[in-house]
Structure 1
């Protein structure tokens, strides 16, 4: 009887001895509870002692924990509803206060309370700013404000809110169509403004270009007139020098130039009288006179001679036509005159000459 009893007592003593020690690793912190009240706080890793069957050890995670809130709708100052998701990181800092706040629910109870706390602070902060600030890229001040407010109230739970981030900020599905239409209208208005400014700038450029063209053209015409005037003056000087050296030869040269220009076309025909000055060079020179003449006067005399020759040729052609179609008029009735014949036409008569 003593053998089995001794073995039983030994087993009980060994079990009690093993139950008197517990190990706290580096990832956790521990509370030793005696009759439900906190007796010890173990924050350092290692082997620790407790009373068997009396003390209870509760361990909590000492690492940084995460919390993701449920999507919630917020209403900024401009009454545009937004759907927001938040992400928080937190850590247990005061085990005794944490135990008193959440009780036996532990970390799960703390997550539920932090989720409600973050939801309230997110709505409070985002409801005090316009939606443009919430939707902007630089939302760090808003997130820091939410973190600071949540940290103050989370301190009563024995936890520290390390960081808060807004992971998603979107419009509700029922508002997407209206929002897209409004955004499209705004972009179209901006595009129209840009096109109007571009057209105005293009008009200014065209006006400047037109003004520049006019100025350059005017300047070029002015310079051309100056150059042309200088060239005419030089030519007149050359003519005057040539005329002063040999007036007869100068007149002969001008007459030849007139003949050449008046008979340039191969089909040209000229009807004139036998006594016309056109082909009588000696009479043409006599018609000029003995007094010296300037080149301009000689040119004018040549033009007058050509015009007279053309009138005589027209009269001769008219007389010939009248003589073939009707009786000749009385001697005392003057012959009718008509306009000179145009180049390229041909008539036969007395004194006709062709090239």
Structure 2
């Protein structure tokens, strides 16, 4: 028997064992890959500013609120996202009637957020439905509040009785949403614009112009009255100042004259003859001028003094 016809059974057995090991390793790797795929596909990340809603057979079973890594059961559970941050909703324009039966068009906007995702999904199902319900409540409350005010009180800021209307509307809308369990909260409701139907605009503009002109005339009248008051007050103060100054001048003049008299008396009392001479000379100064004619006896002291006799 030749060597070519001899079969080495040991080598065949060894090769068979090696293939079997490779198959086992391949199966293990495949199972590991499947496990990893299932693991990673059923993990999810909860981001900042969002809720993760886990549903099982269409029902909400869990809400993930905190940021981080979470999981779901494969094939059975599904994950959807809802916003956690505040959102702005532009409410549709609507027409209302005021207390005095006039029409107005109002335009609002609302700041809102989801507070309880489970309630929101249970009662509103979607964000669109939640916004629609919120808009319905806002319109109802605003219509009721503005319906208690007259037309002029709404459009005229100086006579407006709206006060904290936005706060009252926000509070009332939240009460209605909480009563029906919609799981959303309105942070603020604002009336951003109030318009008039076209057929009313002209008459309102004319009335507003008339009111402004009346107010301007009132301010002018108040200004004239204030001007007259200030002028009269100033004139009175000037008269008082002048009177006080005149009285002070008279008092000072009288004091000066009295002081001069004292000085004269003191000086003249020291030499009576000189005082007599001084007074006589003053009388000459007062009585004699270029046209004066004096008839005196020749022996009178006055004549003798004029003629130069001293004895």
TM range (shorter): 0.5 to 0.7
Displacement, 1:52? 0.3
Change (3 A) 1:172 1:21: same
Once the two structures are superposed, residues 260-279 of structure 1 have per-residue CA deviations (whole angstroms, 9 ceiling, x without a partner) of xxxxxxxxxxxxxxxxxxxx
How far, CA to CA, are the matches of 1:201 and 1:64 in structure 2? 53
Q: How does 1:265-284 map to 2 (within 5 A)?
A: none
Q: Give the C-alpha shift of residue 174 in structure 1.
A: 2.2
Per the alignment, residue 34 of structure 1 pairs with 56
After the TM superposition, which of the residue ranges 55-64 and 71-80 deviates more from structure 2? 71-80
1:140 shift after superposition: 5.3
Q: Secondary structure in 2 aligned to 1:51?
A: coil
Partner residue in 1 for 2:119? 97
Tell me what 2:45 maps to. Answer: 23
| Aligned residue in 1 for 2:138 | 118
Residue number in structure 2 paired with 1:65: 87
Q: Which runs of 5+ in 2 are unaligned?
A: 1-22, 230-286, 296-311
CA distance in structure 2 between the partners assigned to 1:50 and 1:12 by the alignment: 16
Measure the CA separation in 2 of the matches of 1:149 and 1:108: 21
Counterparts in 2 of 1:67-216, with a 5 A limit? 67-103=89-125, 105=126, 107-135=127-155, 136=157, 139=162, 141-155=164-178, 156-189=181-214
Q: Which residue matches 1:345? A: none
Instruction: Using structure 2 for the length normalisation, give the TM-score.
Output: 0.57
C-alpha distance in 2 between matches for 1:118 and 1:189 = 37
Flag the 1:198–1:101 CA change in 2: closer, same or farther, 3 A: closer
Match runs of 1:213-292 below 5 Å: 245=294
> Within 1, Cα distance between the matches of 2:124 and 2:91?
19
Residue 198 of structure 1 deviates from its aligned partner by 8.6
Cα distance change on mapping 1:193 and 1:26 into 2, 3 Å: closer
SS in 2 for 1:121: helix
- 1: CA distance between counterparts of 2:189 and 2:163? 10
CA deviation string 1:318-346 (max 9, x = no partner): xxxxxxxxxxxxxxxxxxxxxxxxxxxxx
Task: With the length of structure 1 as denominator, give the TM-score of the two structures.
Answer: 0.51
Deviations, residues 196-244 of structure 1 (Å, cap 9, x unaligned):
889999999xxxxxxxxxxxxxxxxxxxxxxxxxxxxxxxxx9xxx797
Deviations, residues 99-129 of structure 1 (Å, cap 9, x unaligned): 10112x2x22211221122111111111112
- In structure 1, the partner of 2:69 is 47
Report the counterpart of residue 325 of structure 1 in structure 2: none
Can you list the C-alpha shifts for 1:130-164, whole angstroms capped at 9, x where unaligned?
A: 23443327855000000000111122210111111
In the TM superposition, what is the alpha-carbon distance from 1:58 to its structure 2 partner? 2.0
Question: Distance in 2 between the 1:199 and 1:43 partners?
Answer: 68
Match of 1:208 in 2: none
In structure 2, relative to structure 1, the CA distance for the partners of 1:128 and 1:10 (3 Å cut) is same
Write the distance in 2 (CA, Å) between the matches of 1:13 and 1:202: 94
Q: In 2 relative to 1, CA 10–203 (structure 1 residues): closer, same or farther, beyond 3 Å?
A: closer
| Structure 1 counterpart SS, 2:132 | helix
Distance 2:163 2:228 in 1: 46
> What does 1:308-347 correspond to in 2, within 5 Å?
none
RMSD: 4.0
Cα deviations by residue, 1:299-334 (Å, 9 ceiling, x for unpaired): xxxxxxxxxxxxxxxxxxxxxxxxxxxxxxxxxxxx
Aligned length: 216
